[in-house]
Amino acid sequence: MKAFSVNLGSDFFKGSDIRGVYCTTLKSPQARYSLLNRILRWQSKQSILLPRVTSQLLNGIRRLLVPAWEADDSGIKTPRFVVQPHLRDRDTQSVKYRRWIPLRSSVRFLEDRVIGPRIEKARHFNPDGVFLTLLQQRGGTGGIVGVRPAQLSYRLDTSICPNWDQLTALSEQEQSEFRAWAAIVASYLCPTAF
């Protein structure tokens, strides 16, 4: 039996996932949020603390606290008990929070030209691929098709969350992992509580 194996983006040693966290850029706040969230998850999974790395990342970003199920680049994923005070939506009484969301990039196909974002580089389109994409669009999009931008742009958005820590759908193992993660996050964001 092999002690080490690689499978679908994970590295296993004697049956345990030992995959590290990889950083490709720290140029934007969203890249730093993403790295911080992945490092916090890794610390809770491996039971190894990285206080200097975590502190450096926390010092370089705004404390934008978001639920654990948000995207890694939206803010600092945080258990609800860390979010103080709880801002409430006036109409729904749900917890209100701010998050980064990526701006969508799209192109519009007209009869004689293609209109896209001005900041994007020139694109070359496969006419057959464009035709198939437009045929597969449901509900009539008016020839507008989403594209992956060369670099994501973000905007701050306000959102609401009726159930910040949604633990009911998790197995006992997942709840245990969630509690370990929550303790790690809280130890960095509320050090006086521990």
Q: Between residues 147 and 51, which one has the greater pLDDT?
A: 51
One domain for residues 133 and 84: no
What pLDDT score does 194 carry?
47
Q: What is the pTM of this model?
A: 0.76
Cα–Cα distance between 77 and 41 in angstroms, integer?
Answer: 10
Q: Give the chain's domain count.
A: 2
Same domain, 41 and 117: no
pLDDT score of 94 more than 70? yes
pLDDT digits (tens, 9 = 90+) for 129-147: 767 776 776 555 666 666 6
Q: Do you find a cis peptide bond into 85, omega within 30 degrees of 0?
A: yes
Find the range with the poorest average confidence among 75-84, 140-149, 164-173: 140-149
Residues 118 and 173 in one domain: no
Instruction: Please tell me the predicted confidence (pLDDT) of residue 157.
Output: 94
Average pLDDT over all residues of the chain: 80
More confidently predicted of 138 and 177? 177
Do 178 and 121 lie in one domain? The reply is: no
Query: Beta partners for 154?
Result: 102
Indicate whether 84 and 173 sit together in one domain.
yes
Q: What is the mean pLDDT of residues 41-59?
A: 92
Domain hosting residue 120, numbered range: 106-146
Say whether both 73 and 140 belong to one domain: no
Q: Is the pLDDT of residue 39 over 80?
A: yes
- Mean pLDDT along residues 62-73: 92
Whether residue 1 has pLDDT greater than 60? no
- At which residue do the structure tokens 């701010």 appear? 98
Q: Which of 12-16, 27-31, 74-78 has the lowest mean pLDDT?
A: 12-16
pLDDT given for residue 161 in this prediction:
85
* Rounded Cα–Cα distance for residues 37 and 65 (Å): 11
Helix 29-46 and helix 172-189, axial crossing angle in degrees, nearest 10: 120
Residue 52 confidence (pLDDT) above 50 = yes
What's residue 67's pLDDT?
92
